[in-house]
């Protein structure tokens, strides 16, 4: 029973490593999406005021 548990632990560690490896890119993309949404809202408000 120890060997399957070890394999499961290794698989979990691998996926955690892959996720943590991708986090900076994901956070950057989220910040860019937030900037785009804020810009669209500003444009929308400006068009309603005019």
Q: Compute the residue count for the chain.
A: 50
Residue 49 pLDDT: 81
Residue 33 pLDDT: 97
- What is this structure's pTM? 0.60
pLDDT, one tens digit per residue, over 9-38 is 999 999 999 999 999 999 999 999 999 999
Quick one: tokens of 36?
């785009």
Indicate the DSSP class of residue 50.
Answer: -
A 10 A CB-CB count for 28 gives: 10
């Amino acid at each position: 029973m120890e060997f399957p548990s070890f394999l499961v632990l290794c698989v979990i560690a691998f996926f955690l490593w892959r996720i943590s490896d991708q986090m900076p890119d994901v956070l950057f993309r989220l910040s860019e999406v937030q900037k785009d949404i804020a810009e669209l809202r500003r444009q929308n408000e400006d068009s309603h005021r005019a």
